[in-house]
A and B are shown apart, each in its own frame.
Chain A
Amino acid sequence: MALPNSEFKNTKNLMDRDSVSQRIKRRLQLNEIFKYIFLAGLVFALLVLSTLIYDVVSKGGGWVNLDFLRNFPSRRPEQAGLYPALIGTFWLMLLIVPMVFIVGVGAAIYLEEYAPKNRITSFIEVNISNLAGVPSIVFGLLGLTIFVRVMELGNSLMAGALTLGLMSLPIVIVASQEALRSVKMELRHASLALGASKWQTTFNVVLPSAIPGIITGIILAVSRAIGETAPLIMVGAATFISTTPSSVFSDFTALPIQIYNWTSRPQAEFQNLAAAGIIVLMTMLIIMNSAAIYIRNKYTNRH
């Protein structure tokens, strides 16, 4: 068969070491250049993060003190504090954690340990992954209609906690499923072989091994939830409140709501207050996330 001679006739061109080495050089240069372009992309993202932190600290750093944590909101910026918001946020966490723990872990155990492989199971799975992508404001609409109006909970802590709880449930379920999946099959088999029932095996053997992963997931989900503003605005969390909640059916406010309230006022001092509130909120979140990472690192690869 005839080779495409025209190209190969000119062997001089093919053997031209100079041009070949030049091409290789250019390709390597391009590689080097793009390496730094990609790195620049990553560095930009990290730079934004540090700018954001610097901006917030430089604006609000001087405003964070004990009085700021202990005072009620006020029209006078020097006297304003976020005590009710802080208490409200703690209440929310107190209500959300047991809720998502019981329902989220229960769902994960069902899906990993009990669920038969059928249509209902895969429907539930798809449903959970879709719920994770539903915008938080839509959960807010759900909370407003079902919890505030239909169940007549009013603009209460309970309505807010239920809304945020439902919102964080998919994250908890997926994280718990992963934790359960990483428990070795041998453990289950050993327990069953010793005569333990399915439930005894699940509760006494599988669950304890998966707990660190589950706790990590719950901390991350809850820290996401307490940073959320939109759903709480929808269920009508108060923006100006002079009492702390006395029961789960009381009106309440929370850190993001208080920050939003200060952000939307024109005076410069309130912007500083907003920044100070952000410092408090971010400190809480960073502590929670570090705890989650610590737990994950401490307990991984134990089995």
Chain B
Amino acid sequence: MNQPNKGLSIREMIEANKKKKYSTTNVFDKVMPFLLFLSAFVSVVTTVGIAFTLGFELFKFFERVPIAEFLGSTEWYPLSADQRFGVWALVMGTLQITVIAMIVAVPLGLASAIYLSEYASERARTILKPILEVLAGVPTIVFGFFALSFVTPILQALIPGLQIYNALSPGIVVGIMIIPMIASISEDSMSAVPKKIRDGALGLGATRLEVAIKVVMPAALSGIIASIVLGMSRAIGETMIVTIAGGSQPNFEFNPLNAIQTMTAYIVQIAKGDAGYGTIEYYSIYAVGALLFVFTLVMNLFANWVTRRFREEY
């Protein structure tokens, strides 16, 4: 049957339609989702790569050093003739940095967040928040230089007997580095508390301070906790500040005035010193790296869980 106005038979139209199915438009629609999925999958491959890398070399390390020594002792002398691999000495250095950093970052970060979300005018906030975020964009090498060349001399003038390399100075500077992170995540979750709730409390005669402490902060607690946990995770994984200003003396004691060595600083020290491929020192950085990865992974998962589990829905 002919269709006079188009000059095509039904059969011809079907043919044309079939051809169109294999045109470029259709090919793109079939192929692209798969290619895009592959790009998304790169992240999974990366994680597998990290796990594989750490796990494989870790295995080689534990062939030579018993796991009981690694996790059970507190002496870390990888470079002496009588090698010791008790990782707790490095964990203690990391812990000192983390504790000092949190003492600095939590009060200052929360104070900044409360000011920005509860007191500051809209204009002040749009000016102050980006400036605070600049602090988050400063490379850690710059913070390291700042710790060694500015903070340490000041601290030495204040505290007699402070070594050039110590835990206090990098700890404080790591804390300063984390302030924007705690401030911005906490501020986000505090700003998310509806105005109605604030107005209710203010209407009952509460002051802004009482609203902030007794109403807004409890409502935003999940975000605040998450920000603190993420900040700690960042402090544990921080590398350059502690490498530059913390020294390289692994010690199992809590004395921020002495030189220390963190897990990250040890990895850098060995990688930089070109420990020969295949030596115990070479494999030991993977063992330390694996422990570091586990610590930060657990904390990140915990922070994720807290935000999801305790999110207040309004």
By a beta-carbon cutoff of 8 Å, the part of chain A in contact with chain B is 27-28, 30-31, 34-35, 37-42, 44-46, 48-49, 51-52, 55-56, 59, 102-107, 109-111, 114-115, 123-124, 126-131, 133-142, 144-146, 149, 166, 169-170, 173, 197-200, 202-203, 220, 223-224, 227-230, 233-234, 236, 256, 259-260, 263-264, 271, 274-275, 278, 281-282, 285-286, 289, 293
Contact = CB atoms under 8 A, between A and B. Distances in A.
B40 A30 contact: no
Contacts of B46: 131, 142, 166, 169
B119 A38 contact: yes
Given A45-B112, A48-B176, A111-B40, A263 B128 contact: no
B108 A41 contact: yes
Given A135-B237, A141-B285, A289 B137 contact: yes
Given A111-B40, A233-B268, A130 B47 contact: yes
Contact of B301 (A40, A130, A140, A229): A130
Contact of B142 (A103, A123, A138, A282): A282
Contacts of B109: 41
Contacts of A142: 46, 49-50, 53
Contacts of A105: 39
B111 interface: yes
B44 A229 contact: no
Interface string B248-289: 000000000000000010011001100001000000011001
Contact of A42 (B111, B209, B267): B111
Contacts of A138: 50, 54, 237, 289, 292-293, 296
Contacts of B267: 137, 140-141, 234
Contacts, number: 258
Contacts of A199: 25, 28-29, 32
A59 B149 contact: yes
Given A227-B142, A281-B139, 18 more contacts: A30-B207, A31-B210, A35-B119, A106-B40, A115-B40, A124-B41, A129-B304, A130-B300, A130-B304, A135-B239, A135-B264, A137-B267, A227-B139, A230-B243, A260-B144, A263-B244, A282-B142, A293-B130
Nearest to A113: B36
B183 interface: yes
A130 B297 contact: yes
The 10 A-B residue pairs whose C-beta atoms are closest, nearest first, are A135-B237, A41-B111, A227-B139, A106-B39, A110-B36, A133-B300, A38-B115, A107-B40, A31-B207, A230-B239
B43 A128 contact: yes
The listed residue with most A CB atoms (<10 A of its CB), out of B140, B180, B209, is B209
B97 interface: no
Interface residues of B, number: 88
B47 A103 contact: no
Given A263-B244, A278-B142, A110 B47 contact: no
Contacts of B176: 45, 48
Contacts of B238: 135
B144 to A, nearest CB: 7
B220 interface: no
5 contacts: A35-B209, A42-B183, A45-B176, A141-B53, A259-B142
Contacts of A107: 36, 39-40, 42-43
A33 B124 CA distance: 19
B145 A40 contact: no
B11 to A, nearest CB: 24
Interface in B40-69: 40-44, 46-47, 49-50, 53-54, 57
B145 A110 contact: no
Given A136-B239, A138-B50, A127 B39 contact: no
A136 to B, nearest CB: 7
B50 A285 contact: no
A275 B145 contact: yes
Contacts of B174: none
Nearest to B304: A129
A38 B28 contact: no
Contacts of B37: 110, 114-115
Given A135-B237, A264-B244, A256 B139 contact: yes
B310 to A, nearest CB: 17
Nearest to A149: B277
A131 to B, nearest CB: 6
A129 B233 CA distance: 14
B54 to A, nearest CB: 7
B185 interface: no
A44 B108 contact: yes
A199 B27 CA distance: 10
A46 B28 CA distance: 51
B132 interface: yes
Nearest to B267: A137
B36 A114 contact: yes
B209 A34 contact: yes
Nearest to B131: A46
A106 B139 contact: no
A237 B57 CA distance: 22
Nearest to A234: B271
Nearest to B285: A141
Contact of A233 (B137, B236, B272, B300): B272
B268 A230 contact: yes
B102 interface: no
B194 interface: no
Nearest to B27: A199
B155 interface: no
A200 to B, nearest CB: 7
A258 B38 CA distance: 36
